[in-house]
């Protein structure tokens, strides 16, 4: 606020107001009231201020949009005209722009706010709504349209994707961002059925229940996308497989499912009918397939989705070609209803690497690509290269891996293995022999892209990358192809991450040892950082070429001496190694004493950081009668036997070098760096 006598110009006010708006980051009643009062006091600048607010709402990041809109709401309700007039002009745009960018819960708040705008301001005499009815109606209509458009768009998207299936998917941004949805005001993933807290549906996909952290991470790359689950953690335990357990359509789940089913265009009677018919089931499957295909188009690497899609297609084939007993139909229906839920909700991220039952999911390595899938070579390749643990996951591929499935029996097996049917269900008498549709052969056989799934194996020993199968070359064209799965190579080749810094280790014994040593190092450094505030710190001199060539910064992370000794014991190593076993006294803090010399040899002391003493010390020093001597000099003059703490045990080269050279702190730097590493 200006303190001039004159009334500040609207421009100045607006500028001030703009800067105060920048601070409005959370939904704070106090701040909003404050800003409302300012707006009220400067009603003469209403036009400028409302413009500023509108601009702010438009520009501010989505997280801050809600408080800004609340401010607009507050001003409109508490101040009224002329603000309502100014806001009303652009209300549609202001509201819809913000609405399209914010998250589901915020949207609901916005909708609630919109409802209040249709009513007269509480306590006011006027019975007119806050904003003119036509303005709010326009917004209402847009919101309704957006919802329907979102559903339609989704369907359309699926069809397009189906059409595109034969060609190469360009993953990258298009797949990762909700790009296609930008054109619609509301991304469809946040429909109303979804906005609230979500109960995870029963998940049986991983009947074996084997889990491990790094596997989960591998899997999660597939699920980067608009549908990223918000409650990842709840997916971690697979539901125990209880055959014939309670029907899934009950209680909250039931109503939830109805919502979803309605959105998917399923008719409730079909699903809830006690005796399902084949036609009804086929009707149910169709939208599921389209949804899954759309999902697949978004995450082509998500093996879970691939698997499910294939199973659904197979199921469709069975149903359309043969008659099944009623009990099986109802079982299928139950299962479908679960899928309907889980398909609508993003696939659990724990999926891929260890449960890839179909060959398509197993991602033929690039070498094999052109000659088509060949399971035998694949498996033998893996088993040759890796521990049984690696095969363990691979070998559990169902028998119908490559190519057409000959019988319904096989289909059921594949459904079971995909988790779509329970193992207890009895396979029907097989008769039909219609081959299952291969998922999308063109996708894999295209020469342009390489196998989309990383050819990596989670073995017990850690993450192994089959580098010979990584199909990226050092040329400009090859580098241009996005390969999101490389992220997993980047992160998972050393899966064991230090909790305090970004350092990574392998998952094996050595890695654990290294990590333990590294954590010790963290502890020491932490202590020393706490201590270091007592001393003045300074930048060290750089080293010369010779020292630099010999220097190894990661020589000593673990305080193990073995590493240090393997490096042919340079004189620097020798001096520090030897020195640590020698006598030392704490270095005097007094600056005058820092250039202290030994009374015997008149040479300076070597000041180094001593890791055990956690302090700067004078090495090879001994204090006697208030004076400091070199331990060895002292030993000589006191005619003691030069056995124990003697200077003779130190190579002369290192001492003379360390002492005579002007850069005597070199050794200390080096030893320090080594300890710090």
Q: Which residues bind another protein (CB under 8 A)?
A: 172, 465, 467, 470, 472-476, 478-484, 486-487, 489-491, 493-494, 500-504, 506, 522, 525-526, 528-529, 532, 535-545, 548-554, 591, 594-595, 609, 662-663, 665, 669, 672-673, 676-677
Quote the CA–CA distance of 364 and 571 in Å, as a whole number.
53
Rounded to the nearest 10°, the torsion over CA 423, 429, 431, 432 is -30
Nearer to another protein (CB atom), residue 275 or residue 474: 474
Count CB atoms within 10 A of the CB of residue 73: 19
Nearer to another protein (CB atom), residue 168 or residue 489: 489
Task: State the burial class of residue 100 (Cβ atoms within 10 Å of its Cβ: 0-12, 13-18, 19+).
Answer: middle
User: What contacts 446, CB < 8 A, 6 or more positions away?
Assistant: 167, 168
Q: Which is nearest to 454 in space by CA: 310, 380, 356, 347?
A: 356
User: Which two structure tokens, joined as six digits, stand for 97?
Assistant: 């722009």
Quote the CA–CA distance of 99 and 271 in Å, as a whole number.
34
Strands 606-610 and 615-619, by their bridges, are antiparallel
Q: Half-sphere exposure of 614 toward its Cβ, with a 13 Å CA cutoff?
A: 12
Phi-psi region of 403 (alpha: psi -120 to 50; beta: other; left: phi over 0): left
Token pair 């019975």 is found at: 127
Token pair 């399971």 is found at: 375
Quote the CA–CA distance of 568 and 157 in Å, as a whole number.
65
CB of 458 to another protein, least distance (A): 17
User: What contacts 399, CB < 8 A, 6 or more positions away?
Assistant: 410, 413
Task: State the burial class of residue 344 (Cβ atoms within 10 Å of its Cβ: 0-12, 13-18, 19+).
Answer: buried
CB of 545 to another protein, least distance (A): 5
Q: What are phi and psi of 165, to 5 degrees?
A: -55, -35
Nearer to another protein (CB atom), residue 368 or residue 594: 594
Nearer to another protein (CB atom), residue 275 or residue 530: 530
Nearer to another protein (CB atom), residue 307 or residue 518: 518
Q: Half-sphere exposure of 562 toward its Cβ, with a 13 Å CA cutoff?
A: 1
CB of 531 to another protein, least distance (A): 8
Quote the CA–CA distance of 450 and 594 in Å, as a whole number.
65
Is 97 within 8 Å of 138 (Cβ atoms)?
Answer: no
CB of 483 to another protein, least distance (A): 6
Is 13 within 8 Å of 42 (Cβ atoms)?
Answer: yes
- Please, what sign has the CA dihedral across residues 482, 218, 200, 392? positive
Nearer to another protein (CB atom), residue 144 or residue 479: 479
User: Crossing angle for the helix pair 303-321 and 408-417, nearest 10 degrees?
Assistant: 150
Nearer to another protein (CB atom), residue 295 or residue 672: 672
Nearer to another protein (CB atom), residue 207 or residue 489: 489
Quote the CA–CA distance of 296 and 528 in Å, as a whole number.
53
CB of 507 to another protein, least distance (A): 12
CB of 179 to another protein, least distance (A): 15
User: Which two structure tokens, joined as six digits, stand for 296?
Assistant: 């697949």
Quote the CA–CA distance of 2 and 629 in Å, as a whole number.
72
CB of 496 to another protein, least distance (A): 11
Nearer to another protein (CB atom), residue 147 or residue 528: 528
Task: State the burial class of residue 19 (Cβ atoms within 10 Å of its Cβ: 0-12, 13-18, 19+).
Answer: exposed
Nearer to another protein (CB atom), residue 1 or residue 501: 501
CB of 450 to another protein, least distance (A): 11
CA distance from start to end of the chain: 54
Rounded to the nearest 10°, the torsion over CA 512, 516, 521, 523 is 140
CB of 486 to another protein, least distance (A): 5
Nearer to another protein (CB atom), residue 154 or residue 668: 668
CB of 573 to another protein, least distance (A): 13
CB of 306 to another protein, least distance (A): 22
Rounded to the nearest 10°, the torsion over CA 664, 669, 674, 677 is 180
CB of 527 to another protein, least distance (A): 9
Phi-psi region of 217 (alpha: psi -120 to 50; beta: other; left: phi over 0): alpha
CB of 534 to another protein, least distance (A): 11
Nearer to another protein (CB atom), residue 286 or residue 677: 677
Nearer to another protein (CB atom), residue 30 or residue 548: 548
Nearer to another protein (CB atom), residue 224 or residue 288: 224
Chain Cα centroid distance, residue 118: 42
CB of 632 to another protein, least distance (A): 24
Q: What is the DSSP letter of 347?
A: P
CB of 541 to another protein, least distance (A): 4
Nearer to another protein (CB atom), residue 74 or residue 491: 491
CB of 464 to another protein, least distance (A): 11
CB of 451 to another protein, least distance (A): 14
Nearer to another protein (CB atom), residue 134 or residue 509: 509
Cis-peptide, bond into residue 627, ω within 30° of zero:
no
Token pair 């890695």 is found at: 511
Nearer to another protein (CB atom), residue 448 or residue 662: 662
């Amino acid at each position: 606020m200006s303190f001039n006598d004159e009334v500040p110009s609207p421009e100045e006010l607006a500028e001030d107001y703009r800067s105060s708006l920048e601070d409005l980051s959370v939904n704070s009643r106090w701040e909003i009231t404050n800003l409302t009062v300012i707006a009220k006091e400067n009603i003469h600048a209403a036009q400028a201020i409302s413009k500023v607010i509108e601009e702010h709402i438009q520009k501010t990041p989505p997280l801050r949009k809600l408080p800004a809109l609340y401010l607009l709401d507050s001003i409109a309700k508490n101040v009224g005209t002329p603000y309502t007039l100014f806001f009303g002009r652009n209300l549609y745009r202001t509201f819809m722009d913000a609405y399209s960018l914010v998250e589901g819960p915020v949207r609901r708040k916005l909708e609630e706010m919109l409802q209040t705008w249709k009513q007269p301001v509480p306590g006011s005499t006027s019975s007119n709504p806050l904003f003119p009815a036509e303005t709010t109606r326009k917004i209402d209509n847009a919101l309704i349209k957006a919802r329907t458009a979102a559903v339609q768009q989704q369907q359309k998207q699926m069809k397009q994707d189906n059409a595109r299936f034969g060609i190469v998917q360009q993953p990258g941004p298009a797949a990762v961002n909700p790009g296609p949805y930008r054109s619609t005001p509301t991304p469809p993933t946040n429909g109303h059925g979804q906005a609230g807290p979500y109960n995870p549906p029963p998940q049986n996909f991983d009947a074996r229940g084997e889990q491990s952290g790094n596997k989960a991470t591998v899997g999660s790359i597939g699920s980067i996308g608009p549908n990223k689950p918000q409650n990842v953690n709840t997916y971690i335990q697979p539901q125990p497989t209880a055959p014939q357990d309670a029907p899934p359509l009950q209680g909250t789940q039931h109503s939830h499912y109805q919502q979803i089913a309605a959105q998917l265009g399923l008719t409730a009677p079909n699903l809830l009918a006690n005796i399902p018919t084949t036609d009804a089931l086929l009707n149910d499957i169709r939208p599921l397939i389209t949804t899954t295909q759309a999902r697949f188009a978004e995450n082509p690497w998500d093996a879970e989705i691939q698997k499910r899609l294939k199973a659904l297609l197979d199921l469709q084939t069975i149903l359309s070609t043969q008659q099944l007993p009623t009990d099986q139909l109802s079982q299928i229906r139950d299962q479908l209803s679960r899928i309907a839920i889980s398909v609508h909700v993003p696939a659990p991220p724990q999926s891929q690497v260890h449960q890839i039952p179909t060959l398509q999911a197993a991602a033929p390595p690039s070498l094999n690509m052109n000659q088509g899938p060949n399971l035998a070579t694949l498996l033998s390749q893996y088993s040759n290269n890796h521990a049984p643990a690696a095969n363990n996951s691979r070998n559990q591929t169902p028998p119908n891996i490559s190519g057409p499935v000959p019988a319904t029996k096989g289909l059921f097996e594949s459904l079971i293995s995909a988790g779509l049917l329970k193992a207890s269900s009895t396979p029907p008498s097989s008769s039909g022999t219609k081959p299952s549709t291969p998922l999308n052969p063109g996708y894999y056989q295209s020469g342009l892209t390489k196998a989309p799934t990383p050819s990596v194996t989670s073995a017990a020993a850690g993450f192994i990358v089959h580098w010979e199968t990584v199909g990226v070359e050092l040329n400009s064209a090859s580098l241009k192809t996005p390969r999101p799965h490389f992220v997993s190579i980047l992160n998972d080749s050393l899966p064991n991450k230090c909790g305090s810094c970004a350092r990574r280790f392998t998952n094996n014994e050595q890695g654990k040892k290294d990590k333990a040593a590294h954590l010790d190092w963290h502890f020491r450094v932490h202590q020393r950082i706490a201590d270091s505030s007592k001393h003045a710190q300074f930048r060290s001199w750089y080293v010369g070429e010779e020292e630099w060539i010999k220097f190894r910064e990661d020589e000593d992370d673990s305080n193990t001496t073995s590493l240090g000794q393997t490096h042919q014991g340079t004189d620097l190593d020798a001096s520090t190694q030897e020195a640590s076993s020698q006598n030392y006294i704490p270095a005097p803090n007094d600056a005058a004493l820092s250039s202290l010399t030994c009374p015997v040899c008149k040479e300076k002391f070597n000041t180094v950081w001593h890791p055990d003493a956690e302090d700067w010390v004078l090495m090879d020093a001994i204090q006697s009668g208030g004076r400091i001597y070199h331990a060895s000099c002292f030993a000589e003059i006191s005619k003691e036997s030069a056995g124990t703490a003697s200077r003779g045990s130190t190579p002369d080269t290192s001492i003379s070098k360390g002492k005579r050279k002007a850069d005597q702190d070199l050794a200390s730097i080096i030893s320090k760096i080594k300890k710090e590493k």
